[in-house]
């Protein structure tokens, strides 16, 4: 049986979640190994521990955007140390997928990337010219790797990348009856310790609307009488779309360019709305957008996890 390895980004939970969902459809054809952070594995332990997948944990982190923001520091040496630590594993597998860290291309040129943004764009937009952005950008230009994307939320220079395999949303499409009577506000705080501005904003929303709505922090409150207030990572957006909940995509101007661009793309597509947390927030008129949201979402491509798996089966 052929072998495949996934190397996840160290930043948050969504990267591991996506890799696991893709892997579930590969288990009959591949021995699957996933390299990730221990804290990521622990988050999903109950649902993934019984899967016939080998999990291997990093000793060194690759990208942690929350720490970059917290300390205003790039951690390029740590990034290179992570690359060198993992280079010895790259040729143990028939196929290697990096979600979505480009640095491993330094040692294996046929690695497939998976993601809808590139970290070198995010770092460049934050810091200007810097070692990490230059390093990753040069690797991508020199190797023109295959990159699997969600075509609806591609951001930055990835939009013009010439070697893309484009799919849609990972979830299945479910027919959800619209409602104009929201009863719950589900506030999903970022999974890692991002800016204090997010915490302050979410606390303000809870206090402002607690007398009119049920305020929840539970993802299981995913139904069509819920509004989700989220920092719009792709995993969280996929959850909202799959469950028919309306996302209000909030962003801070000092956060990553990927998050800001994604929030605005979601609003442009009619899948939710975007909101800068430095502006005054009001739920007025949001309920009137639901019919548009549910109508437009039917035009998009779904089931990408299964389609990505089918693509990977054909790579060898």
Is 74 a domain residue?
yes
CA–CA gap between residue 133 and residue 123 (Å, rounded): 6
Does pLDDT of 294 surpass 70? no
Is 174 a domain residue?
no
Please indicate, yes or no, whether residues 38 and 162 belong to a single structural domain of this protein.
yes
Q: What is the pLDDT of residue 177?
A: 62
Please indicate, yes or no, whether residues 260 and 157 belong to a single structural domain of this protein.
no
Q: What is the pLDDT of residue 180?
A: 66
Is 78 a domain residue?
yes
Does pLDDT of 287 surpass 80? no
Does pLDDT of 26 surpass 80? yes
Does pLDDT of 284 surpass 80? no
Is 176 a domain residue?
no
Name the DSSP class of 45: H
Query: pLDDT confidence of 221, banded at 50, 70, 90?
Result: confident
Token digits of residue 192: 């890692």
3 DSSP β-pair partners: 31
| Unique residue bearing structure tokens 């994604």 | 262
Does pLDDT of 226 surpass 70? yes
Lowest mean pLDDT among 53-67, 112-126, 188-202: 188-202
Token digits of residue 3: 């072998």
Angle, helices 131-143 vs 76-86, to 10°: value is: 40
Domain that holds residue 59: 2-168+303-315
- E strand spans, 100-197: 112-114, 147-150, 164-167, 184-188
Q: What is the pLDDT of residue 286?
A: 75
Does pLDDT of 52 surpass 70? yes
Is 141 a domain residue?
yes
Residues whose CB is less than 8 angstroms from the CB of residue 304 and which lie 6 or more positions away in sequence, other chains included = 150, 167, 168, 169, 170
Contact 150, 271 (CB under 8 A): no
How many other C-beta atoms can be found within 10 angstroms of the C-beta atom of residue 177?
7
Is 179 a domain residue?
no
Work out the percent of the chain whose per-residue pLDDT is above 70: 94
Please indicate, yes or no, whether residues 121 and 227 belong to a single structural domain of this protein.
no
Q: What is the pLDDT of residue 119?
A: 98
Query: pLDDT confidence of 195, banded at 50, 70, 90?
Result: confident
Domain of residue 41, CATH code:
3.40.50.2000
Mean pLDDT to the nearest integer, 17-41 = 97
Does pLDDT of 261 surpass 90? yes
Q: What is the pLDDT of residue 219?
A: 84
Dihedral-angle region of residue 128 (phi above 0 means left; psi in -120 to 50 means alpha; beta otherwise)? left
pLDDT (tens digit per residue) in 142-185: 999 999 999 999 999 999 999 999 999 998 876 666 566 788 99
Q: What is the CA radius of gyration of the chain?
A: 19
Please indicate, yes or no, whether residues 163 and 190 belong to a single structural domain of this protein.
no
What is the pTM assigned to this prediction? 0.92
pLDDT (tens digit per residue) in 97-139: 999 999 999 999 999 999 999 999 999 999 999 999 999 999 9
Cα of 134 vs its chain's centroid, Å:
23
Please indicate, yes or no, whether residues 227 and 159 belong to a single structural domain of this protein.
no
Please indicate, yes or no, whether residues 94 and 77 belong to a single structural domain of this protein.
yes
Work out the percent of the chain whose per-residue pLDDT is above 90: 77
Is 18 a domain residue?
yes
Token digits of residue 178: 């619209």
* DSSP state letters, 199-226: HHHHHHHHHHHTTTSEEE--TT--STTE
Higher per-residue confidence, 294 vs 63: 63
């Amino acid at each position: 049986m052929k072998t495949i390895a996934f190397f996840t980004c160290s930043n948050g939970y969504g990267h591991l979640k996506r890799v696991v969902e893709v892997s579930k459809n590969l288990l009959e054809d591949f021995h699957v190994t996933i390299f990730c952070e221990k804290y990521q594995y622990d988050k999903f332990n109950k649902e993934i521990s019984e899967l016939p997948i080998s999990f291997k944990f990093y000793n060194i982190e690759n990208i942690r955007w929350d720490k970059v923001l917290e300390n205003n520091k790039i951690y390029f040496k740590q990034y290179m140390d992570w690359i060198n630590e993992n280079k010895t594993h790259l040729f143990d597998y028939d196929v290697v997928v990096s979600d979505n860290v480009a640095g491993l291309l330094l040692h294996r040129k046929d690695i497939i990337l998976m993601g809808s943004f590139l970290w070198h764009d995010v770092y460049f937009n934050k810091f200007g010219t810097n070692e990490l952005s230059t390093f990753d950008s040069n690797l991508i230009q020199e190797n023109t790797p295959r990159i699997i994307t969600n075509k609806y939320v591609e951001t930055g220079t990835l939009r013009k990348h010439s070697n893309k395999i484009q799919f849609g949303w990972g979830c299945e499409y479910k027919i959800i009856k619209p409602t104009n009577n929201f009863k719950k506000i589900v506030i999903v705080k970022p999974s890692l310790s991002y800016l204090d501005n997010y915490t302050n904003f979410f606390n303000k929303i809870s206090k402002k609307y607690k007398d009119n709505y049920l305020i929840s922090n539970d993802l299981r409150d995913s139904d069509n009488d819920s509004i989700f207030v989220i920092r719009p990572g792709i995993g969280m957006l996929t959850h909202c779309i799959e469950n028919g909940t309306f996302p209000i995509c909030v962003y801070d101007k000092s956060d990553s360019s990927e998050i800001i661009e994604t929030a605005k793309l979601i609003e442009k597509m009619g899948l939710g709305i975007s909101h800068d947390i430095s502006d005054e927030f009001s739920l007025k008129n949001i309920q009137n957008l639901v019919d548009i949201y549910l109508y437009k979402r039917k035009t998009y491509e779904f089931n990408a996890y299964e389609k990505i798996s089918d693509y990977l089966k054909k790579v060898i």
